[in-house]
Structure 1
Amino acid sequence: MHIVYLHQYFFTPDQPGGTRSYEMARRLVAAGHRVDMITSDQQPVAGGPDWRVTEEAGIRVHWKNQPYNNSMGWLDRIKAFFGFAIAASRRAASFHDADVIFATSTPLTIAIPAIYASWRLKKPYVFEVRDVWPAVPIALGALNNPILRWLALRLEHEAYHRAARVVALAPGMGDEVASTDYPRDRITIIPNGCDNDIFGAPPPVDALADYAEWLGDRPLIIFAGTLGKANKVGYLADVAAAMLKRDPEVRFAIIGAGADRDAIAQHAANLGVLDHNLKLVPAVPKRILAGWIQRASICLAMFSGPPILWKDAVQNKFFDSLSAGKPVFSNHAGWQCHIAIEHDIGGSMSPDDPDAAAETLLHHARDSAWLAGAAQRTKALAHGRFSRNNLARELENCLSDVVRNDKAN
């Protein structure tokens, strides 16, 4: 198959960010398929070309000059989404020998070039739902304009109903798609997966060299991800302060970038934990992040806001932790938290009581027998149910079925 793969925020393992599309695409290439990835160059070189093309693990990647970062205002983000959608539409429609178009959200506007290319090329398209949009920005109060809300809901409907198949990352997301009257038998659940060859492999020997003295052989609890309002990461400073009273040797690391980073640093400084038992670490490439996760005793997954944000959460950090053999605690009772409880590889910590959260984390971080057992159970999941190899084969079968049905008709 020739697959035109659309993902506005595609990352390789040498970049900070989620790599699901990279991992899926490189496995499709290894299986003998041709993949053209259309994405954005979020930090382009000034004066550089509008598009540049590279090859990443056999994937032909088309990078559009389209600046974007998490600290942008809502209007600037909308401009970035639609600017990319227009340019990507022309690019995707230029592949006249394509067999299928595969688009993965977010943003929801990624459906625009997919629908356009599908129409121009008369080829089917498959849509992957990673987040339930526009329900999330509506719930957050970021999409209050009634006209924009109507347009977003209309785009959501078109994104699903023009797709030959919809891939959802969690059962609840599949239910949300089906609630729009999309046929349930055309919804395939393919969850996020474990990058065992990155997070299960030895990290660079100097990955944590700058923090060696601070860490020593002490327990380490980490959060790695976006430092934005949806994650409520500043709460960890309160947990670190509560931990300081119980066990001052336990270390916390917050790894990442985002609009709330400065506020988190100030809050931690006010509590007296910054650079004491808590460090703020800049966003790092996945191979360096692997070193942090492998060194951790416990990893954290954080969300705030209404249940729609976290009930079907399938965060990369959860699966990265499984690959490294590390337990995961969440501040919510979503799908991934249920998995952790079911397999005794973590659970939930109080989302609003730092003392209770610190007590939960300390109990497990100092239980060497439980940590050893959790390591075995997490790796069993990483190499079985959530193996990226197995999940990529499921995606390949899904796309192959769509192409086969298209040719038959």
Structure 2
Amino acid sequence: MSRILYLHQHFSTPDGGTATRSYAHARALARAGHEVTVATGRYAGAETGLSGPFRLSRRDGEVAGFRVVEWDIPYEGGMSLGARALAFARYALRALPPALSGHDLVIASSTPLSVAVPALLAKRLRGTPFLFEMRDPWPELPRALGLRNRPILAAMEALAGAACREASGVVALSEGMAELARARGARRVEVIGQGCDLDLFGPHIPAWRPEEAASHEALAVYAGAHGNSNGLGLLLEAAARLRAAGEARVRIVLVGQGPAKPALMREALRRGLRNVSFLPPLPKRELARLLAGSQIGLLCLAPVGEFAEWTAPNKLMDFLAAGLPVLSNLPGAAARLLEEGECGVTVDPRDAEALAAALVRMAARPAERLKMARAARDMAQRRLDRRLLAARFVAAAETALGAPPRAFEATA
């Protein structure tokens, strides 16, 4: 049995409303016989499984067979750049003592990139191997989104390069990220993408629909962050075109929170878009009920070329697991996945008219929609079951430990 420290600032169990990848991986590591400690901050929308007050800005306990340490370091997407940087720095400092305390392996899961700092110092000062999980490409993605501060970009580049070169292994969420890791000198890279939770989402979940949703309306759901990078204005433009055409068969539902949400709500009100509903962030179990009562999953990002191969949207996995056909404006890897699985449609990233037309087609052709829905669930079961991907993650961690990975069955 090995002692593993899993550093992820945004950890959540399925009771929260955010991604649960690190929860699935930590649980799989624990079930493989490892002693796992997850160290996390206080992320808006997350549920760590811990309750009770913080003592000296910390609380801890056992969750699903592993230990969770939660520090009172708040973070949410609507923070200013300075506030976010401060939260990242505080987490890295708090993670340093446990990283240096004699674990057999440190797993550094980025975002944020600063999580690599304690892992690198543990490697250099104590010789502790670490596995670097690359969830987002830094600094490429911030640069693509408009960050122009050269010293900050240079610092990100140096840290990302060191993390890739010095890690015993790199886990990348997409082939595009894997290519970046190899270019930075990573010795061992494995692509382990996002996975589908087939127990949490699916046709066995009782359906729920918002009160304002009429029985004749097909619900097209976007669930995720409401930031500038998500490009949700495109969905409002599509809704405006549907309304102008007198099309009443589609309701667009936006679930989540973020800095762009107030402006989106004001714009929808100004334009009289009564075919758009805004919902707060929902815990995953409640989101599963909404998806069970919906007909279309919406994948939307701003028209940034780098998103095509460098992103791995978790919301796409939730739609597939729920058995929803997906309407997307994201080219590249996501578009290929939908095309190969015959479970969705991709439109031009900027084309609101095409998006509206695709919504009408999907609403008007229930048989075709049902065929795509079945294909979505089938793909989730055959290729994207997160239990199988978690087993591969355990193997990558054990390889980073320097021992042959043990054989074990993936369990629910």
TM-score in same-fold range (> 0.5): yes
Given candidates 191, 194, 199, the residue that maps to 1:192 is: 194
CA deviation profile, 1:158-214 (whole Å, cap 9, x unmatched): 11111011011111111111122333xx11010100011111264466x54xx2352
Given candidates 168, 182, 186, the residue that maps to 1:182 is: 186
Partner of 1:218: 217
> Percent identity at matched positions?
32
1:82-93 equivalences in 2 (<5 Å): 82-93=89-100
Partner of 1:103: 108
Given candidates 86, 91, 96, the residue that maps to 1:79 is: 86
1:285 paired to 2:283: yes
Partner of 1:13: 14
Q: 1:361 aligns to what SS in structure 2? A: helix
CA deviation profile, 1:334-362 (whole Å, cap 9, x unmatched): 21121001221112123323222111121
Task: Report if aligned partners of 1:312, 1:334 keep a CA contact under 8 Å in 2.
Answer: no
1:23-34 equivalences in 2 (<5 Å): 23-34=24-35
Shift of 1:132: 0.5
Superposed CA RMSD: 2.1
Q: Which whole-Å CA distance do the structure 1 matches of 2:170 and 2:183 have between them?
A: 13
Q: TM-score, normalised by structure 2?
A: 0.91
Gaps of 5+ in 2: 45-50, 406-412
Q: Which whole-Å CA distance do the structure 1 matches of 2:114 and 2:228 have between them?
A: 22
Shift of 1:255: 0.2
Larger CA deviation: 161-170 vs 20-29: 20-29
Q: Which whole-Å CA distance do the structure 2 matches of 1:46 and 1:380 have between them?
A: 43
Q: Which amino acid aligns with 1:240?
A: A
Q: Which whole-Å CA distance do the structure 2 matches of 1:22 and 1:406 have between them?
A: 24
Shift of 1:134: 1.0
CA deviation profile, 1:108-132 (whole Å, cap 9, x unmatched): 1110111123334422101011110
Q: Which amino acid aligns with 1:332?
A: L
CA deviation profile, 1:345-380 (whole Å, cap 9, x unmatched): 112123323222111121123222222211221122
Q: Which amino acid aligns with 1:158?
A: A
**Alpha-carbon spacing, 1:2–1:246, altered in 2? closer, same or farther (3 Å):** farther
Task: Report if aligned partners of 2:303, 2:349 keep a CA contact under 8 Å in 1.
Answer: no
Shift of 1:234: 2.1
CA deviation profile, 1:274-297 (whole Å, cap 9, x unmatched): xx2110000011000111112221
Shift of 1:322: 0.7
Q: 1:397 aligns to what SS in structure 2? A: helix
Partner of 2:47: none
Q: Which amino acid aligns with 1:54?
A: G
Q: Which whole-Å CA distance do the structure 2 matches of 1:406 and 1:396 have between them?
A: 11
Shift of 1:405: 4.7
Q: 1:279 aligns to what SS in structure 2? A: strand
Shift of 1:305: 4.1
1:196-345 equivalences in 2 (<5 Å): 196-200=198-202, 202-203=204-205, 207-208=208-209, 211-244=210-243, 245-273=245-273, 276-345=274-343
Q: 2:171 aligns to what SS in structure 1? A: strand
Partner of 2:173: 169
Q: Which whole-Å CA distance do the structure 1 matches of 2:29 and 2:185 have between them?
A: 30
Q: 2:298 aligns to what SS in structure 1? A: strand
Shift of 1:48: 5.0
Task: Report if aligned partners of 1:192, 1:386 keep a CA contact under 8 Å in 2.
Answer: yes
**Alpha-carbon spacing, 1:47–1:339, altered in 2? closer, same or farther (3 Å):** closer
CA deviation profile, 1:255-311 (whole Å, cap 9, x unmatched): 0000001000011112211xx211000001100011111222111111114211333
Q: TM-score, normalised by structure 1?
A: 0.92
Q: Which amino acid aligns with 2:234?
A: Y
Partner of 2:5: 4
Equivalences, count: 397
CA deviation profile, 1:217-236 (whole Å, cap 9, x unmatched): 42110100000000011221
Partner of 1:363: 361
Q: Which whole-Å CA distance do the structure 2 matches of 1:386 and 1:47 have between them?
A: 37
Q: 1:223 aligns to what SS in structure 2? A: strand
Task: Report if aligned partners of 2:303, 2:350 keep a CA contact under 8 Å in 1.
Answer: no
Partner of 1:132: 137
**Alpha-carbon spacing, 1:317–1:375, altered in 2? closer, same or farther (3 Å):** same
Given candidates 110, 114, 118, the residue that maps to 2:119 is: 114
**Alpha-carbon spacing, 1:386–1:252, altered in 2? closer, same or farther (3 Å):** same
Given candidates 53, 58, 72, the residue that maps to 1:51 is: 58
Q: Which amino acid aligns with 1:113?
A: P
Q: Which whole-Å CA distance do the structure 2 matches of 1:395 and 1:47 have between them?
A: 31
Q: 1:5 aligns to what SS in structure 2? A: strand
Q: Which amino acid aligns with 1:247?
A: E
Q: Which whole-Å CA distance do the structure 2 matches of 1:128 and 1:187 have between them?
A: 10
